[in-house]
Chain A
Amino acid sequence: GAVVSQHPSWVICKSGTSVKIECRSLDFQATTMFWYRQFPKQSLMLMATSNEGSKATYEQGVEKDKFLINHASLTLSTLTVTSAHPEDSSFYICSARIGANEKLFFGSGTQLSVL
């Protein structure tokens, strides 16, 4: 099956620093990737849709200048949390779709803790 690799799996950083999370599709090309965040015991909240070669589409309420998304190739999308603050601490998960296939393949997630 399709594999989505997400790195790092966890990161601890100081308030004010930036953190980059990578999401790679290992054995397929992903035209579209989705970034979600999840708080404990809550649902996955869609943050943005990342399209290869174009600007990401952000959901309402998500600051695009704070959560920078780059989808430079068909196998790599990155999410950079800029000037992180403790309220940005969360579980971030990327996902990818193969062509028009409806199901999503998820990465293993990144637990971000901002001190």
Chain B
Amino acid sequence: SQKIEQNSEALNIQEGKTATLTCNYTNYSPAYLQWYRQDPGRGPVFLLLIRENEKEKRKERLKVTFDTTLKQSLFHITASQPADSATYLCALVSSSNTGKLIFGQGTTLQVKP
């Protein structure tokens, strides 16, 4: 069966450290993978998109990697800040025809000052 799995346990780190979140998928062949941030009681906000032919993508303090052999994406936040505390969701398109995005359950990041 198809699965998108993120670590359901909250990640607690100290301010200034690098946070690394993992997204693994099974029985998908996504053309691209996306990462979103969701704050409590709010809709997700798009952060980054990485395509299957890209190994790494950066945006300011954010970095995403995509390993289609391991079927895994890693999401890094460097020099983390308390304001980075949120739930981070990975998502991939189930079918290029429909563009439907399927989401992982998200990992909650807590950055402590």
Residues of A within 8 A of B (CB): 4, 6, 32, 34, 36, 41-44, 46, 49, 57, 91, 93, 95, 97, 102-109, 111
Contact = CB atoms under 8 A, between A and B. Distances in A.
Interface residues of B, number: 22
A91 B39 CA distance: 13
B43 A107 contact: yes
B99 A43 contact: no
Interface of B: 4, 32, 34, 36, 41-46, 49, 89, 93, 98-106
Contact of B32 (A36, A102, A108): A102
A46 B102 contact: yes
A49 B98 contact: yes
Contacts, number: 51
B46 A104 contact: yes
Interface class of chain B by DSSP: strand
Q: Which 10 A-B pairs have the closest CB atoms?
A: A106-B43, A43-B105, A103-B46, A44-B103, A43-B103, A93-B43, A109-B43, A106-B44, A108-B43, A107-B43
Given A104-B46, A108-B42, A34 B101 contact: yes
26 contacts: A4-B43, A6-B43, A34-B100, A34-B101, A41-B105, A42-B105, A43-B105, A44-B44, A46-B100, A46-B101, A46-B102, A95-B43, A102-B32, A102-B34, A102-B49, A103-B34, A103-B49, A104-B44, A105-B46, A106-B43, A106-B44, A106-B45, A107-B43, A108-B42, A109-B42, A111-B41
A12 to B, nearest CB: 15
